[in-house]
């Protein structure tokens, strides 16, 4: 069960990466962007089939690219890509404030 929980970590870090990148690039709207990303992920994953959304809409969410554990097939490439995307988003969000003139 620990492995099943850890398999969800790259998707959660991708959502956190979106919030971090928003904080670096749009500091005033970062809370709205972060909560919107998290809220859309929950709403689409819960109500996506009920609303009969096109297949590409849930495919945009990071949680559709992690394995369904326990018992599902594990694809290391999906987890690696999500980890890489999360890393790039976090690094860009943390590097962006250095360009700002604070004083």
Q: Which parts of 1-99 fold into alpha helices (H)?
A: 2-7, 9-25, 30-47, 56-60, 76-95
Tokens 């995307």 locate to: 85
Within 8 A by CB and 6+ apart from 26, the residues are 33
Residue 28's pLDDT is what? 87
Q: Give the residue numbers spanning the domain of 89.
A: 26-97
Whether residue 5 lies inside any domain: the answer is: no
Residue 103's pLDDT is what? 57
Residue 102's pLDDT is what? 63
Locate 1 and state its tokens: 């069960």
Whether residue 1 lies inside any domain: the answer is: no
Q: How many domains does the chain fold into? A: 1
Whether residue 30 lies inside any domain: the answer is: yes
Whether residue 9 lies inside any domain: the answer is: no
Written as tens digits, the pLDDT of the chain (103 aa) is: 787 788 888 889 999 999 999 998 888 888 999 999 999 999 998 898 898 888 888 888 888 877 777 777 777 888 888 899 999 999 998 888 776 666 5
Whether residue 49 lies inside any domain: the answer is: yes
Whether residue 11 lies inside any domain: the answer is: no
Tell which phi-psi region holds residue 70, choosing left (phi > 0), alpha (psi between -120 and 50) or beta. beta
Tokens 């929980």 locate to: 5
């Amino acid at each position: 069960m620990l492995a099943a929980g850890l398999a969800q970590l790259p998707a959660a870090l991708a959502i956190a990466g979106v919030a971090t990148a928003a904080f670096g690039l749009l500091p005033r709207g970062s809370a709205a962007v972060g909560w919107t990303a998290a809220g859309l992920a929950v709403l689409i994953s819960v109500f996506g089939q009920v609303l009969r959304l096109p297949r590409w809409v849930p495919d945009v969410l990071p949680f559709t690219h992690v394995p369904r554990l326990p018992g599902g097939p594990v694809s290391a490439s999906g987890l690696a890509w999500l980890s890489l995307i999360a890393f790039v988003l976090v690094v860009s969000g943390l590097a962006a404030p250095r360009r700002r003139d604070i004083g």
